[in-house]
Structure 1
Amino acid sequence: MEKPKIDYYVWADKVADQLKERKAKKYVVHGMWTPSGFFHIGNARAELLIPSFVNESLKDRGLKSEQNFIIDDFDDFDKIPEGLNIKNEDFEQYLGKPLRKVPSPVEGYDSWAHFFQKDVLSALEKFGIKPNILPSYDAYKKGIYDKTIKIVLNKSEEIRKIWNDVTNGKKPKGWVPVMVICENCGKSATTKVVAWDGKELEYLCTQHRPYAQGCRHKGKLKPGKGNVKLPWRLHWAAGWYIYGTTFESAGKDHFSSGGSVDTSQAFCREIFKTQPPMQIPTEFLLVDNAKLSGSVGNVISLSNWLEFAEPELLRFMMISYQPQTVINFDLHSNKFFLLADRYDEAERVHFGKEIKSDKRNEQLKRYYELSQIKQMQEKIPVQINYSIASMVTQVFPEKPLNELVEILSTKGWIHRKTLTQFDKERLLKRLELAKNWIKKYAPEDAKFVVQEEIPKDLKLGSKEKEALHIVANALKEKKWNEKTLFEEFYNICQGTGIKNTDFFRAAYNVLLNKDRGPKLAPFILTLGKEKVIELFEKV
């Protein structure tokens, strides 16, 4: 009997149902990251949030599921990232060693890995993510990988054939696919195994790399307890075998033909004799059209995000895009406001304050549910548009945030007489974030200073002056709202024969000494008609 077709509104729910067909006793979703450089929100998409959404969706179906975050701190130190206030030559001697054996670039941390992982680990709970933290270095040292290392050593020839078949590679006969930690220099990138007798490995530290030179030591050891590790593609497959991984996302570059996904899945099936996890490729997250890079240092970290936006907005952005879709996040323009607007829209739909098509309703409700960190409120929380918040903090730059909440209420931007403690905290946070965005990230055309007097070099034509005088008189005559005042601007332009663009430019010239500014109608209503009348009558 053919299964009924289900119309999925959210990709995570579809993935969860596909995983459900495996009928596993427990589902394990994985993310993995190497702490060699800065962790950024692009890393968070593939390694934390996509697994988190799948984990939550599995649990919503009554299935047993857990999320693991593997910190691959046993990986080699192969590059010194930019953006650190250090002397590179002080760290070049550690290139080729495991990251956990490299000193921290900043005092106060046990290692290079500990320094770079501290930002992500300290922020996880703030984003509603609670995975098991599994450092690879510790796992190897505890002997968790010993069994898989023995399997690999005893199946070296089979692994060589798989590697060459899948990758079109040319690994030579006699290749032993493990990496010994040199007992003399401590490097793992520069060693080469030359013999395995079933009990001990013989190795040379002579495999020079562009970034690290071997010490030429020759040694022999019994593998175990972290003196040997697996190369990346075998390490990945071994982790799936050890932890019983059922789902893992990864960057799309891993999914190229013959790449690490193809190779690791083949190893999982044929060497470790277990089913590989379901994997989906994740596209890049661009910021202002640029790819983020932890080694270059042009990143937005999870902590950075909390300076200008609520954590729910990052979750909302990640769940509302298919993993295979590029996200181009525009932080340094007022297009950033659109993300906050979309989140607020989903919130209104969830609480029944706005109605879309049936499918869109269900989709937005589910996006909103999966974006939440705290328990949802019984009724819709008070909302304040991010663009209004950023405008208010600039109109009244010296006022404390709690006074700005009162101003928002008196100016009509808050349509609720009584605010709960949750509402107050939420408004204060949005104002604080908007103020930080203006200070640290906003483009110059989003910043402004309200003029106390008419700018000295102001040059307006007679029609522009006439239009502004009419606005001043109109503000005296009646009470306006954003919609009616906006419409009046166009009536005035038509009546005076002035172009709309010239009218708005003239208004901003007088009020801000700039050619552009925030939406004029809400700006005037927030600034207060008295101040606007005073300035417009002086032109």
Structure 2
Amino acid sequence: MLYRHFAYRAAEEVVKRFPGKDVYIVEAGATPSGKIHLGNFNDVIISDAVLKALRNLGYNSNGFLVIDSRDPFRQPPIFAPKEFIRESENYLGKPFIEIPDPWGCHENYAEHFVDPVEKNMDKYGVEIGIKWAQEIHGNPVFIKLLLRLIDERKRVIEIYNDVRRRAGHLNLYPEDWIPFRPQCKKCGRIDESVEIIGLTDKYKVKYRCRSCGNIGIADIEKMEGKPPWRIDWPLRWIALDVSFEPLGKDHMASGSGYEMGCSLLRKFFGREPPIPVFYDFVYWVEKNNGKKVLKFSKRKGVGLGIDEWLKYAPPEVLRFQILRRDVSNIFSEALSHWDFDITQIPQYVQSFDKFEETYFNIVERAIDQVKNQVIVDTYLLSV
């Protein structure tokens, strides 16, 4: 049996789970809370690799990098201008898309951090486009799905609490939970500080903002707010018809948002969830009187941005570093973590050059490609 790169095995699972689709959609995601770094780019490169694998297997495929631009702002990046940090309390809880750019060079906070990604995707050979949360939330299909959940929220609560019980969680969703987060019309917050008092109409909620004290009405049909992320995510899968999405390994845990979303799709909507590929995180290695390993962080500015990588090495080297990892079972294993050391970038380049030489030796000398198919796949998906 031919053993292929994990992207091809994921693509084959996609077609097996969703046979006969005209177009297979892959999705990646990013939250613009700070600098979008190499760790976040795992999502993009893995999705793009599966898109390419699907196309190489003869299927039509498109993809999106979804930006969670309506998520609430919680903390300023430590590298933001001091004036913005001083004023940041004025922005707490507001959607990223409604906060000014701290540096004043883009229309808003979200666009500032997404722009370097969007401008450099072509350089990395990435063929997926950008889709913003406000665009998805304004989609009539998405709204209709949300309204159905509001109508049948007792079933949703049962499904989600069943997942939580099986995972051993004691904190369950209350019987009166409404899967919507209204935005305060006075202060603009869209976070947990805006609490729902109850439904005043079929699709209207009365809320109280604990931050500014405002009491108001939010219309769900007009999306005067957003669903919580554990609802937003699976609705996005359906609205965009997603067949594949990579995930951080934390979503492998029992009771995770991914497990809840899968359960909602299967038990409520009668639809299969996207095929996953799980991956471990990227860590930043500092060598100062010893080795110190830090998790990449958007808010702390730990880790290179994808635009910054290009100052040090070609884009195909980064694709290779992400795609060279492997798992034997995409459903039960995660791609290994990467201890990123900026001083080792020349070695990363050398490693790619040696791999490229191996690839051309296989092709030019007609070495058995069946035994070396993963090498061939990895190289071609990297360049």
Short-chain TM bin? 0.7 to 0.9
1:247 shift after superposition? 0.6
1:273 shift after superposition? 3.1
Amino acid at match of 1:195: G
Task: Check conservation: 2:36, 2:114, Cα contact below 8 A.
Answer: yes
Are 2:190 and 1:194 aligned? no
1:144 shift after superposition? 4.8
The residue number in structure 1 matching 2:314 is 310
The residue number in structure 1 matching 2:76 is 80
Task: Check conservation: 2:205, 2:219, Cα contact below 8 A.
Answer: no
The residue number in structure 2 matching 1:20 is 15
Task: Check conservation: 2:296, 2:303, Cα contact below 8 A.
Answer: yes
Amino acid at match of 1:202: V
Amino acid at match of 1:196: L
Runs of 4+ in 1 over 4 A off after TM superposition: 353-360
The residue number in structure 2 matching 1:325 is 336
The SS at the match of 2:311 is helix
The residue number in structure 2 matching 1:371 is 382
Task: Check conservation: 2:147, 2:203, Cα contact below 8 A.
Answer: no
The SS at the match of 1:171 is coil
Task: Check conservation: 1:287, 1:328, Cα contact below 8 A.
Answer: yes
The gaps in structure 2 that reach 5 residues or longer are 286-292, 327-333
1:354 shift after superposition? 7.6
| Per-residue CA distance 1:77-113 (angstroms, 9 max, x = gap) | 1121211223322121111111111111111211111
Are 2:189 and 1:178 aligned? no
CA 1:239–1:62 in structure 2 vs 1: closer, same or farther (change >3 Å)? same
1:92 and 1:228 map into 2 onto residues whose CA distance is 20
Task: Check conservation: 2:25, 2:241, Cα contact below 8 A.
Answer: yes
1:272 shift after superposition? 3.1
Are 2:146 and 1:149 aligned? yes
Task: Check conservation: 1:349, 1:365, Cα contact below 8 A.
Answer: no
Task: Check conservation: 1:269, 1:276, Cα contact below 8 A.
Answer: yes
| Residues 150-165 of structure 1 aligned to structure 2 (within 5 Å) | 150-165=147-162
1:55 and 1:140 map into 2 onto residues whose CA distance is 24
The residue number in structure 2 matching 1:380 is none
Structure with the larger helix share: 1
The residue number in structure 2 matching 1:52 is 48
1:12 shift after superposition? 1.0
| Per-residue CA distance 1:425-464 (angstroms, 9 max, x = gap) | xxxxxxxxxxxxxxxxxxxxxxxxxxxxxxxxxxxxxxxx
| Residues 495-514 of structure 1 aligned to structure 2 (within 5 Å) | none
The residue number in structure 2 matching 1:427 is none
The SS at the match of 1:286 is strand
Task: Check conservation: 1:250, 1:280, Cα contact below 8 A.
Answer: yes
The residue number in structure 1 matching 2:353 is 344
| Residues 391-406 of structure 1 aligned to structure 2 (within 5 Å) | none
The gaps in structure 1 that reach 5 residues or longer are 1-5, 209-213, 373-539
2:47 and 2:13 map into 1 onto residues whose CA distance is 14
| Per-residue CA distance 1:28-62 (angstroms, 9 max, x = gap) | 111011111110011001x2000011110010010
| Residues 276-315 of structure 1 aligned to structure 2 (within 5 Å) | 276-288=273-285, 289-315=293-319
1:356 shift after superposition? 7.6
CA 1:174–1:267 in structure 2 vs 1: closer, same or farther (change >3 Å)? same
The SS at the match of 2:198 is strand
The SS at the match of 1:254 is helix
Task: Check conservation: 1:143, 1:224, Cα contact below 8 A.
Answer: no
| Residues 162-241 of structure 1 aligned to structure 2 (within 5 Å) | 162-167=159-164, 168=169, 169-189=171-191, 190-196=193-199, 198-206=201-209, 208=210, 214-241=211-238
Task: Check conservation: 1:250, 1:279, Cα contact below 8 A.
Answer: yes
Task: Check conservation: 2:75, 2:88, Cα contact below 8 A.
Answer: no
Task: Check conservation: 1:81, 1:297, Cα contact below 8 A.
Answer: yes
Identify the range of structure 1 (146-155 vs 270-279) with the bigger mean alpha-carbon deviation: 270-279
Q: With CA pairs under 8 Å and 6+ residues apart, which has the higher RCO, 1 or 2?
A: 2
Amino acid at match of 1:109: H
1:125 shift after superposition? 0.7
The residue number in structure 2 matching 1:254 is 251
The SS at the match of 1:172 is coil
The residue number in structure 2 matching 1:7 is 2
Are 2:120 and 1:123 aligned? yes
The SS at the match of 1:332 is helix
2:71 and 2:218 map into 1 onto residues whose CA distance is 20
Structure with the larger strand share: 2
Query: Which has the greater radius of gyration?
Result: 1
Amino acid at match of 1:177: P
CA 1:63–1:357 in structure 2 vs 1: closer, same or farther (change >3 Å)? closer
Percentage of identical aligned residues: 26
2:141 and 2:114 map into 1 onto residues whose CA distance is 22
| Per-residue CA distance 1:8-39 (angstroms, 9 max, x = gap) | 14111111112221214121111011111110
Task: Check conservation: 2:79, 2:300, Cα contact below 8 A.
Answer: yes
2:369 and 2:126 map into 1 onto residues whose CA distance is 30
Task: Check conservation: 2:197, 2:205, Cα contact below 8 A.
Answer: yes
1:65 shift after superposition? 1.1
The residue number in structure 2 matching 1:430 is none
2:306 and 2:160 map into 1 onto residues whose CA distance is 37
Task: Check conservation: 1:126, 1:311, Cα contact below 8 A.
Answer: yes
1:219 and 1:362 map into 2 onto residues whose CA distance is 61
1:143 shift after superposition? 4.2
1:203 shift after superposition? 2.1
Task: Check conservation: 2:197, 2:208, Cα contact below 8 A.
Answer: no
Task: Check conservation: 2:31, 2:67, Cα contact below 8 A.
Answer: yes
1:142 shift after superposition? 4.9
2:270 and 2:187 map into 1 onto residues whose CA distance is 36
| Residues 409-420 of structure 1 aligned to structure 2 (within 5 Å) | none
The residue number in structure 2 matching 1:477 is none
1:219 shift after superposition? 1.7
Amino acid at match of 2:144: K
TM-score, normalised relative to structure 1? 0.63
2:271 and 2:65 map into 1 onto residues whose CA distance is 21
The SS at the match of 1:104 is coil
1:368 and 1:221 map into 2 onto residues whose CA distance is 52
Amino acid at match of 1:364: I
CA RMSD of aligned residues (A): 2.0
CA 1:171–1:292 in structure 2 vs 1: closer, same or farther (change >3 Å)? same
